[in-house]
Chains A and B, each alone.
Chain A
Amino acid sequence: DIQMTQSPSSLSASVGERVTITCRASQDINIYLGWYQQKPGKAPELLIYAASSLQSGVPSRFSGSGSGTDFSLIISGLQPEDFATYYCQQVNSFPYTFGQGTKLEIK
């Protein structure tokens, strides 16, 4: 199975800041990487697919980059509603696997 490792596991930041969350795959997954946001008590929501494509309806302050084994999710200009947990997911091969999550908290 492909292991997905996110860093950091938690992060404190202020409104307006730019933050970067990274995700590393245990083997080459090309661009078959997605990012999700999950708020407490809610289902996850897709933000980014194919490493850098913005899902419809997602604000443009979210962006993704990377290919192969190293990927990043960047949030430019944090908004209060962005404080949540973020997960990466590989879909290069079964079983699909998620990173362990990054909890973004207000500083």
Chain B
Amino acid sequence: EVQILESGGDLVQPGGSLRLSCAGSGFAFSTYAMSWVRQAPGKGLEWVAGMSGSGDRSSHADSVKGRFAITRDNSNNMLFLQMNSLRAEDTAIYYCARDRAAGGMFGWFDPWGQGTLVTVSS
């Protein structure tokens, strides 16, 4: 069974840092692109960052560029999001999501994890 499980969400002060983790199981992790998508309370979905299966390609939303960095460790089937210089507007549920198909960066996400909550507040 394919499973995706996020962790690392917490309450952090403005200007602080946090590292989110995402564990994938039940599939050939290194062959699938992965992404982070966030959802502020009561709001819509916002794609944050994505990385190819091999880790040689990545992209970040303008709203987080220079502050957040997506990385992966294929030997341990893990995806990460390093979040620095956090702002109140980064408060959201952060979902980890797998591309629906292996072998490229297609961008349609299936499945998603259950999400982890990041709250940025003093």
Q: Which residues of A contact B (CB under 8 A)?
A: 1, 32, 34, 36, 38, 43-46, 49-50, 55, 87, 89, 91, 94-101
A44 touches B107 (CB 8 A): no
- In the complex, residue of chain B having the shortest beta-carbon distance to the beta carbon of A35: B108
On chain B, the residues within 8 Å of A95 by CB distance are: 47, 59-62
On chain B, the residues within 8 Å of A45 by CB distance are: 110-112
User: How far does the alpha carbon of A34 sit from the alpha carbon of B110 in the complex, in Å?
Assistant: 11
Task: Please tell me the size bucket of the interface on B.
Answer: 20 to 34
B108 touches A49 (CB 8 A): yes
CB distance from A26 to the nearest CB of B (A): 15
- In the complex, residue of chain B having the shortest beta-carbon distance to the beta carbon of A50: B108
Tell whether A98 pairs with B44 under 8 Å between CB atoms, given A43-B95, A43-B115: yes
24 contacts between A and B (CB under 8 A): A1-B62, A34-B107, A36-B109, A43-B97, A43-B113, A43-B115, A44-B95, A44-B109, A45-B110, A46-B108, A50-B108, A87-B44, A89-B45, A89-B47, A89-B108, A91-B106, A91-B107, A91-B108, A94-B59, A96-B35, A96-B50, A97-B47, A98-B47, A101-B44
How would residues 94 to 118 of chain B score, 1 for a CB under 8 Å from any chain A CB and 0 otherwise?
0101001000001111111111000
User: How far does the alpha carbon of A36 sit from the alpha carbon of B47 in the complex, in Å?
Assistant: 13
CB distance from A72 to the nearest CB of B (A): 17
Tell whether A55 pairs with B110 under 8 Å between CB atoms, given A94-B59, A98-B45: yes
User: How far does the alpha carbon of A86 sit from the alpha carbon of B121 in the complex, in Å?
Assistant: 30
User: How far does the alpha carbon of A1 sit from the alpha carbon of B62 in the complex, in Å?
Assistant: 9
How would residues 70 to 113 of chain B score, 1 for a CB under 8 Å from any chain A CB and 0 otherwise?
00000000000000000000000001010010000011111111
